[in-house]
Amino acid sequence: MYKIMKKEILNPSVVLMDVYAPDIAKTCKAGQFIVLRIDEVGERIPLTIADFFPEEGLVRIVTQTVGYTSRKLMNMEQGDSFLDFIGPLGQESEIENYGTVLCVCGGLGIAPMYPIARELKKAGNKVITVVGARNKELLIWEDVLKEVSNEIYVTTDDGSYGRKGLVTDVSKEILEREKIDHAWAIGPVIMMKFTALLTKEYNVPTIVSMNPIMVDGTGMCGACRLEVDGKTKFACVDGPEFDGHKVNWDLSMRRMNIYKAKEEIALEKAIKGGF
């Protein structure tokens, strides 16, 4: 059993948990993920690792309430345990000294960007981070990302905090004013798509994390199948990071919606049942 050692509500729909999993904590790297199962009747869900503390044996996950399982997870408390907590899975981020790196993140993608930005800065890069959220209430970890960024810019869709607009608006300004050697984009698929299209105009190599389309997380279900440079890849075993300029974004977005109707039905039944 994997005990929750800390629980922190980051905003009304996002929760942070530190889970005691020493074998995972001592081997995981930035960019990887875990798969957890709450109980014997629960589904397995993949979650990107937001941080790790080898000495304490802790792995940090950040989850947003979207469907049935994430809502159930949100209701768990410090001291509760997961039945399964497996990892680290996936390929680690390719960290090296590129020069100046642009890190673009939005929504829940802000959390997994942190360890990547931290390692990029440790490798000697100048890290410029652009963070986006729908509004101020939903923004998380601005202060945490500041610690590992040379520059940080915040945008909100409604203008309630930072710059009003999209992360691509600020990213375009940065790309026009200085040479960016490499970029990362993590967040909603639509955000990653348009960030990759933007950086392609400036010939900036861009890595995206395709964890939003994963379901099983082990390569068995095939739900995370995507097309990269005309070849079939699986986000969970070949990724989750890929060259954003080579991803077939339209196909990826269609695949994301395959289980949407079933997820809504499951959540509706759970809510009616008093969950």
Q: Is the residue at 273 inside a domain? A: no
Number of folded domains that form the chain: 2
Quick count: other Cβ atoms within 10 Å of Cβ 235?
Answer: 29
Range of the domain at 227: 100-256
189-202 mean pLDDT:
96
Residue 266: pLDDT over 60: no
| Residues 117 and 10 placed together within one structural domain of the fold | no
The CA–CA distances, whole Å, from 177 to 99, 103, 139, 202, 235 equal 15, 16, 26, 11, 33
**Which residue type, as a one-letter code, is found at position 8?**
E
Residue 12 is predicted with a pLDDT of 87
21-32 mean pLDDT:
96
| Residues 245 and 138 placed together within one structural domain of the fold | yes
Q: Mark which of 56, 89, 122 sits at the end of a domain.
A: 89
| Residues 119 and 186 placed together within one structural domain of the fold | yes
- The residue written with tokens 């710059």 in the block is 163
Residue 221 is predicted with a pLDDT of 67
| Residues 80 and 110 placed together within one structural domain of the fold | no
Read off the DSSP letter of residue 159: S
| Residues 175 and 80 placed together within one structural domain of the fold | no
| Residues 47 and 150 placed together within one structural domain of the fold | no
Q: Is the residue at 219 inside a domain? A: yes
Rounded-to-integer distance, Cα 197 and Cα 180, Å: 15
| Residues 33 and 168 placed together within one structural domain of the fold | no
Q: Is the residue at 264 inside a domain? A: no
- CATH code, 172: 3.40.50.80
Residue 219: pLDDT over 70: no
Asked which of 14-23, 30-39, 41-50 is least confident by mean pLDDT, the reply is 41-50
Rounded-to-integer distance, Cα 77 and Cα 118, Å: 29
Q: Is the residue at 153 inside a domain? A: yes
| Residues 227 and 154 placed together within one structural domain of the fold | yes
Residue 25: pLDDT over 60: yes
Q: Mark which of 29, 55, 89 sits at the end of a domain.
A: 89
pLDDT band of residue 125 (cuts 50, 70, 90) is very high
| Residues 56 and 161 placed together within one structural domain of the fold | no
| Residues 239 and 108 placed together within one structural domain of the fold | yes
Specify the 3-state DSSP secondary structure of 107: helix
CB 191 within 8 A of CB 167: yes
- For residue 185, the cross-strand partners are 104, 208
Residue 217: pLDDT over 70: no
53-74 mean pLDDT:
90
Residue 250 is predicted with a pLDDT of 85
249-268 mean pLDDT:
67
Rounded-to-integer distance, Cα 80 and Cα 236, Å: 27
| Residues 17 and 119 placed together within one structural domain of the fold | no
pLDDT band of residue 144 (cuts 50, 70, 90) is very high
Residue 265: pLDDT over 60: no
Residue 216 is predicted with a pLDDT of 59
| Residues 8 and 61 placed together within one structural domain of the fold | yes
Residue 115: pLDDT over 70: yes
CB 28 within 8 A of CB 115: no
200-224 mean pLDDT:
79
- CATH code, 67: 2.40.30.10
Q: Is the residue at 47 inside a domain? A: yes
Chain segment 245-257, per-residue pLDDT in tens: 999 988 887 776 6
Quick count: other Cβ atoms within 10 Å of Cβ 265?
Answer: 11
Q: Is the residue at 268 inside a domain? A: no
Residue 131 is predicted with a pLDDT of 97
Q: Is the residue at 237 inside a domain? A: yes
Q: Mark which of 89, 117, 134 sits at the end of a domain.
A: 89
pTM, whole model, 2 decimals? 0.90
Residue 237 is predicted with a pLDDT of 83
121-135 mean pLDDT:
97
Q: What is the mean pLDDT of the chain?
A: 90
C-alpha angle 34-78-84 in degrees, rounded to nearest 5: 30
The length of the chain is 275
pLDDT over 70, % of the chain: 88
51-60 mean pLDDT:
97
- Which residue, 147, 30, 140, 35, is CA-closest to 94? 30
Q: Is the residue at 240 inside a domain? A: yes
